[in-house]
Structure 1
Amino acid sequence: MPVRPAPVAPAAGTPGDPPAAAVPPPVGPAPRRRLPLVLAAVLVLMLVAVGLVVVRPGPVGRWLGDAPATPAATGTVESAPVPVLVAADSGAPAPSTDGLRTTLEPLIDDTALGGRVNVAVADALTGEMLFDRGGGEGTVPASVTKLVTAVTVLTARGPGHRIPTRAVAGAQPGEVVLVGGGDPTLAAGPKGFYPGAANLTDLADQVRKALGGVAPTRVVVDSSRYSGPVYEPGWDDDIPTGGYGGAITALMLDGARTNPKAGPGWAERVAEPDLAAGRAFAKLLGVPVGTVRKGTAPPAPTGTTASEPVGGGGPGAELGAVHSPPLIRLVDIMISDSDNIVAEALARQVALARDRPASFAGAASAMAEVVSELGLPVAGLDLADGSGLSRNNLISPALLTELLALAASPDRPELAGIFGGLPVAGWSGTLRDRYGATPGTAAGAGVVRAKTGTLTRVHAIAGVVTTAEGRLLTFAVLTDDVPPDGMEPARAALDRIAAALAGCGCR
């Protein structure tokens, strides 16, 4: 993933990875099935349900069990991609614990991984833990936190939920209140940073129509949907200006970027995203930008609902609304690009769904509650944010492996959306430039699919891998005691562990 260098080398975030009571999982033998076909089926059903079509290149489609696509008559026929992510086989033998121990322990003991390395490997089909070395210990996870954010928001809100941005009549004639609902992808016009995002141009058109002959006079910004600090107290000091994070407000444009044409990863962010959005909206309405101020929307008139625009009626009357892409698309963006701003917005959606304050603390509490309800292990879990930028986060490798196995299960089809954005080793996302060139990692290229995490001294990887014999495993390796200058050796050591899983039968 191409990333622009930050003006100052940040302590958190690196070019490869931006800094970053339910039924318990099955314990007995599961019915024999082709796991990728299950994932494909539930993912297709989910996309149809929300009216969203996401077309991914052939390698990922084949891993999910898709049939070869037939290009439309008007489409462009692409050359055949390099085969990766071969289908797993539920009938393939699972590795043994002894076999995994023999293969993995020498790699885990690599001094490049520092003084604390915690690892878990599980069978994706049955959820059985196959290898555990400190797997239950809470470890600083960095951006692999986003896997927890993804599963909890898809559980709490559902893949088809869309986040609204509304405009309502203010207290004074011609006053328009722009009400943020927490959509981080909102754009000023049709060409924002995030494809398919809602835009303020459409909202301004709705407002003018609703007002009829009444000219807008002033814009008020209401970002009260979120509460608490805009920066998490556990973030490193350079996060607010380091280009990978920013102020988290309920109203923003293009993930708070100053320039919507900036590439993924590092980008300069505005200090007050809500006011910046309000000024852009004022410009579209022909209202003096200098009059934009923060405030709160009047309550809706009695007898109306949010879906009933009533034109120039009394204060609080809705004048228009636009909506974000479905959450399944936002989850995909969050994981594939390791987008920290989107992650924090999704975490707050979990809080809102559970009637908690839409703050860092409220989101963390709500996410932990959902994890517990899913029957996942909460020992060692301590959340502070949804992106993984905070060093106060702790997650166990065992939780991550069980979470991934649950997402692959047909019992929770709405969770399969997390697999769409997982980077592929040597092919996409934060793993595009990893595997292959580094000694001992070639076996993982095109076979490992995982989320990475990086902060200074913290390096992590968690995802799925198909063994040489065709068995699909979930794995997580977290280390939070690496020397500050040891990023590249630590990454290589992590990649060798995942590649060893891909290259062995380990029986």
Structure 2
Amino acid sequence: MTVTRRWVLAGLLAGVSLPAGAEAPATSPLPRRRGAGAAALPAVGGAEPLVAAAKLGGAVGFVLADAETGEVLEAVAPDVALPPASVMKVLTAGFALDRLGPGHRFATRVLATGPLVGGVVQGDLVLAGGGDPVLDTDMLGDLAAALQARGVKGVTGRYLVWTGALPALERIDAEQPDFVGYNPAVGGLNLNFNRVYFEWKRAGKDWALSMDARAERFVPPVRMARVKVARRSLPVFTYEGRADAELWTVADEAMGKGGGRWLPVRHPWLYAGEVFQTLCAAQGLALPAPILAETAPVGAELARHDSPALESILRDMLFHSTNLTAEVSGLHASQAASLRGSARAMQEWARLRHGLGAHVVDHSGLGGAARVSAGDLVRLLVGLRDSALPGLLKNHGMRDAKGKKQPGHPVQVVAKTGTLNFTSALAGYILPPGGRRLAFAILSADVPRRAALAEVERERPPGGEAWVKRARNLQAQLIERWAGLYA
């Protein structure tokens, strides 16, 4: 359906807070633009030829609205629910900012359950995670150095690792291939986005292999993740998870002369625990093997690392589209006991606060079962127009009809992209110089084609690259058209 008259979106009152359990209104009054007598923008139509020329199959839905009033200026299939891919992170950012606040920080602590006597902890030493999604090896190295500065030389008890600040997930989405680094485990202690670096180099007729937890200053080797070369062509990787190790094989025919890639970690507590043990050993502090703590630790704080403020973390999440950060932020915001429960909590927040009818399955958009309409996304963007969110979105830039950036263009576009196999989404704001801010969402998906893919095809599906290029060209054409009309 193309809307050529003004279509007022439901539920656009920004900042409306409904009591727990209240039903979202079916409609709400049109929000007034600040300042008196703002003239209505003219509605447009006629985008169907652009959609047809893209030859995407499946379905395409988009909405363009005045971000200040919520008046829809153009729409095609605004109520068709499609996979949002990583555009779901816009909803997660709004949820986390609302529940936690932009200044929230995640703490990683080292605790002692007994007194420090002569440099020796009389009890257990505990590495206690606070769910920090951006904790890296250098930060753990600084914690180890802080222990050395405190004069800690040993421990009489155990070395415990606590991850109970968040529920433990072995992976975000069960349908993704085992080896993709963007689908790691999630828990209360996350290191290097729960990825380990696998590097290989040709050495005569064989290869030299290594696994490490590299950051900028520290590159400790990792023992709990191991890899062997297998004489085969496919599959490229196989994975076996054990209680004390993660075992990989890699096909020799895929290795070439050398290379490297991040592989996901499924036992993040063991990974972080081992890396911290190695870093402490470099500071002269020998720790026993890590043990997973079953209960929340109580003890004196010996060292602490606080993450950057949530606002900064979310800005990086939206820029780099980091799945682990999205899941951690959403889980913290909901305080739910499972990812399923957390997704439902965010879905209900979106319904009550912004009138959305979205179906949410996770916080990153990685799960292909999520559904949201372009109309719902624009409702959200209009509702969050005066929040911190617009300032956190990536500068997408104006692009020509072939998707090429146009440097120096006077119109700004800040937006979040989303891509899954045969799914492409873009949502954000168009900022004309001296004009009125516009909110938009464009969703394209060929769900049957995506569902027909075999598992081995999911990382690089046949025809997928060309399909995404056409979808992105359509996005560029629509935005260029809108900017020309309203700049």
In the superposition, the TM-score normalised over structure 2's length comes to 0.69
Match of 1:447 in 2: 412
Match of 2:30 in 1: 27
Q: How far does the alpha carbon of each residue in 1:244-292 deviate from its partner, in whole angstroms, 9 at most, with x for none?
A: 2311122122212333359xxx843334222221112222333557712
Using a 3 Å threshold, how does the CA distance of structure 1 residues 386 and 298 change in structure 2: closer, same or farther? closer
SS in 2 for 1:268: strand
Using a 3 Å threshold, how does the CA distance of structure 1 residues 394 and 151 change in structure 2: closer, same or farther? same
Structure 1 position 391, deviation (Å): 0.4
Q: How far does the alpha carbon of each residue in 1:32-81 deviate from its partner, in whole angstroms, 9 at most, with x for none?
A: 39xxxxxxxxxxxxxxxxxxxxxxxxxxxxxxxxxxxxxxxxxxxxxxxx
1:372 maps to 2:311:
no
Structure 1 position 373, deviation (Å): 3.5
Using a 3 Å threshold, how does the CA distance of structure 1 residues 418 and 163 change in structure 2: closer, same or farther? farther
Structure 1 position 296, deviation (Å): 2.8
Quick one: distance in 1 between partners of 2:377 and 2:97? 16
Using a 3 Å threshold, how does the CA distance of structure 1 residues 211 and 222 change in structure 2: closer, same or farther? farther
Query: Given the alignment, which residue of 274, 294, 300 partners 2:269?
Result: 274
8 A Cα contact 1:423 1:450, kept in partner = yes
State the one-letter code of the partner of 1:391: G
Quick one: distance in 1 between partners of 2:41 and 2:407? 16
SS in 2 for 1:453: strand
Match of 1:187 in 2: 136
Match of 1:260 in 2: 215
1:416 maps to 2:388:
yes
Query: What is the 5 A alignment of 1:463-502?
Result: 463-466=428-431, 470-481=435-446, 484-485=463-464, 486-502=467-483
Using a 3 Å threshold, how does the CA distance of structure 1 residues 371 and 437 change in structure 2: closer, same or farther? closer
Query: Given the alignment, which residue of 137, 142, 145 partners 2:85?
Result: 142
Structure 1 portions without partners, runs of 5+: 1-20, 34-89, 190-198, 301-315, 410-414, 427-434
Structure 1 position 206, deviation (Å): 4.8
Structure 1 position 112, deviation (Å): 2.8
Quick one: distance in 1 between partners of 2:352 and 2:445? 28
State the one-letter code of the partner of 2:160: V
Specify the structure having the higher radius of gyration (Cα).
2
1:163 maps to 2:118:
no
8 A Cα contact 1:348 1:363, kept in partner = yes
8 A Cα contact 2:360 2:370, kept in partner = yes
Quick one: distance in 2 between partners of 1:163 and 1:403? 27
Match of 2:228 in 1: none
1:391 maps to 2:373:
no
Using a 3 Å threshold, how does the CA distance of structure 1 residues 126 and 247 change in structure 2: closer, same or farther? same
SS in 2 for 1:495: helix
Quick one: distance in 1 between partners of 2:350 and 2:314? 17
Match of 2:323 in 1: 340
Match of 1:49 in 2: none
- Higher RCO, 1 or 2 (CA under 8 Å, sep at least 6)? 1
Using a 3 Å threshold, how does the CA distance of structure 1 residues 26 and 319 change in structure 2: closer, same or farther? farther
Structure 1 position 151, deviation (Å): 0.3
CA RMSD of aligned residues (A): 3.2
Using a 3 Å threshold, how does the CA distance of structure 1 residues 214 and 449 change in structure 2: closer, same or farther? closer
Structure 1 position 26, deviation (Å): 5.8
Q: How far does the alpha carbon of each residue in 1:104-157 deviate from its partner, in whole angstroms, 9 at most, with x for none?
A: 232233343322111122111112233333223321000100000000000000
SS in 2 for 1:249: coil
Match of 1:236 in 2: 175
Structure 1 position 160, deviation (Å): 0.3
1:151 maps to 2:94:
yes
Quick one: distance in 1 between partners of 2:52 and 2:437? 24
Match of 1:85 in 2: none
Structure 1 position 218, deviation (Å): 4.2
SS in 1 for 2:356: coil
Q: How far does the alpha carbon of each residue in 1:332-368 deviate from its partner, in whole angstroms, 9 at most, with x for none?
A: 001011111211111111122xxx22x3213212212
Match of 2:301 in 1: 318
Structure 1 position 159, deviation (Å): 0.1
Quick one: distance in 2 between partners of 1:501 and 1:216? 68
8 A Cα contact 2:331 2:339, kept in partner = yes
Structure 1 position 440, deviation (Å): 9.4
Quick one: distance in 1 between partners of 2:35 and 2:180? 49
8 A Cα contact 1:142 1:460, kept in partner = yes
SS in 2 for 1:504: helix
Structure 1 position 163, deviation (Å): 0.9
8 A Cα contact 2:106 2:131, kept in partner = yes
Match of 1:201 in 2: 141
SS in 2 for 1:108: helix
Match of 2:485 in 1: 504
SS in 2 for 1:109: helix
Quick one: distance in 1 between partners of 2:153 and 2:403? 70
Quick one: distance in 1 between partners of 2:429 and 2:265? 36
Using a 3 Å threshold, how does the CA distance of structure 1 residues 295 and 418 change in structure 2: closer, same or farther? farther
State the one-letter code of the partner of 1:424: H
Kindly, what percent of the aligned residue pairs are identical?
30
Using a 3 Å threshold, how does the CA distance of structure 1 residues 112 and 396 change in structure 2: closer, same or farther? same
8 A Cα contact 1:468 1:504, kept in partner = no
Q: How far does the alpha carbon of each residue in 1:4-28 deviate from its partner, in whole angstroms, 9 at most, with x for none?
A: xxxxxxxxxxxxxxxxx72787614
SS in 2 for 1:325: coil
Quick one: distance in 2 between partners of 1:468 and 1:504? 13
Quick one: distance in 2 between partners of 1:222 and 1:112? 51
SS in 1 for 2:75: strand
Using a 3 Å threshold, how does the CA distance of structure 1 residues 116 and 468 change in structure 2: closer, same or farther? farther
Using a 3 Å threshold, how does the CA distance of structure 1 residues 222 and 418 change in structure 2: closer, same or farther? farther
Match of 2:127 in 1: 178
